[in-house]
Structure 1
Amino acid sequence: MKGGRSKAETKKTDSKLSVKKRGAPSEKASKKPAKKGKAAKDPNKPKRPASAFFVFMEEFRKTFKEKHPNNKSVSVVGKAGGDKWKSMSEADKAPYVAKAEKRKTEYNKTLQAYNKKMAEGANAADDEEESDKSRSEVNDEDDEDESGEEEDDDE
């Protein structure tokens, strides 16, 4: 066999490969930094408004419960609502779209106010840090003057 491997060479190669696979994880894998989780959500942030379909579903759930009081399945209500929404014309959907748009404009106003408040809070925190730094610098200068005066008194 020209250029072919002998049985002994194949076994050595296979054993080396199997040792690497079974061995401890490589150093590269252990040195990787741990994945960071998602940033914590702010509970004060305004929630996004419901779409036109979900505005429709709020009303539809009430009427469906009245017609089918024994139904406990959420999926049945969702499927029935989805089927009805698909069969509705644009004119039938218009009041729900209008309500959704109104909610969206209100949400945008509250979100802008929230973002402005958060920006002001960040600026206030920066100002406090700067004022603390400036205070410490002033205090350091005062300490030096006082220490210098004390040395003069001792002489």
Structure 2
Amino acid sequence: MKGGQSKAEATSTDQRLKTRGRKPGKKTAKDPNKPKRAPSAFFIFLDDFRREFNLANPNNKSVATVGKAAGAKWKSMTDEDKAPYADKAETRKIEYAKSMQQYNLKLASGTNRADDDDNKSEVDEAGGSAEEEEEDD
């Protein structure tokens, strides 16, 4: 072929591209105990704005309309207007850092399982099972 790849070269390139990255269908499971990431100042503003917008426009069902209106208002706000949201975001970021530190300590010690905190079995609380008590007699 003039000026291009041969069919064999093109096929081998395609095969290499297909095998790159992680394999499809194999997702890593998310840990339900992992703390949720702290929202940015805009998302804290968006939460308040969404409530106000929905009260003012009860017939609006479009998420895009709310997002566009919020983005336009956020851009038009001064830094002084954004300051309360930035402060809340900073506070939540600090709380998130603390909870992540605790989470990482639990992971390191190996005690971060779903049944560790609140879901103790009846065997643990009673100090033994009924079968063990019968065997002692």
Aligned CA distance change for structure 1 residues 39 and 69 (closer, same or farther; 3 Å): same
Deviations 1:101-149 (A, max 9, x none): 1111110000000000000008xxxxxxxxxxxxxxxxxxxxxxxxxxx
* Matches of 2:20 and 2:70, distance apart in 1: 47
In structure 1, the residue matched to 2:43 is 54
Once the two structures are TM-superposed, the CA of residue 38 in structure 1 deviates from its matched residue by: 3.9
In structure 1, the residue matched to 2:106 is 117
Bigger helix fraction: 1
Task: Tell me the TM-score normalized by structure 1.
Answer: 0.57
User: Which structure has the larger Rg?
Assistant: 1
Once the two structures are TM-superposed, the CA of residue 42 in structure 1 deviates from its matched residue by: 1.2
* Matches of 2:28 and 2:90, distance apart in 1: 30
Q: Does 1:65 align with 2:54?
A: yes
4+ residue runs over 6 A deviation:
none
* 1:94 counterpart (66, 83, 87): 83
CA RMSD of aligned residues (A): 2.7
Q: Does 1:103 align with 2:89?
A: no
Q: Does 1:39 align with 2:28?
A: yes
Unaligned runs of 5+ in 2: 112-137
* Matches of 2:37 and 2:79, distance apart in 1: 24
Flag the structure with more relative contact order, 1 or 2, with Cα contacts below 8 A and sequence separation at least 6. Answer: 2
Equivalent residues, number: 100
* Matches of 2:82 and 2:95, distance apart in 1: 20
Identity of counterpart residues, as a percentage?
A: 56
* Matches of 1:81 and 1:34, distance apart in 2: 37
Matches within 5 A, 1:9-28: none
Aligned CA distance change for structure 1 residues 70 and 115 (closer, same or farther; 3 Å): same
* Matches of 1:106 and 1:73, distance apart in 2: 33
Once the two structures are TM-superposed, the CA of residue 43 in structure 1 deviates from its matched residue by: 1.5
Aligned CA distance change for structure 1 residues 118 and 88 (closer, same or farther; 3 Å): same
Deviations 1:18-61 (A, max 9, x none): 7x69xxx87xx5xx799443422212111101100000000000
Q: Which amino acid aligns with 1:112?
A: Q
In structure 1, the residue matched to 2:63 is 74
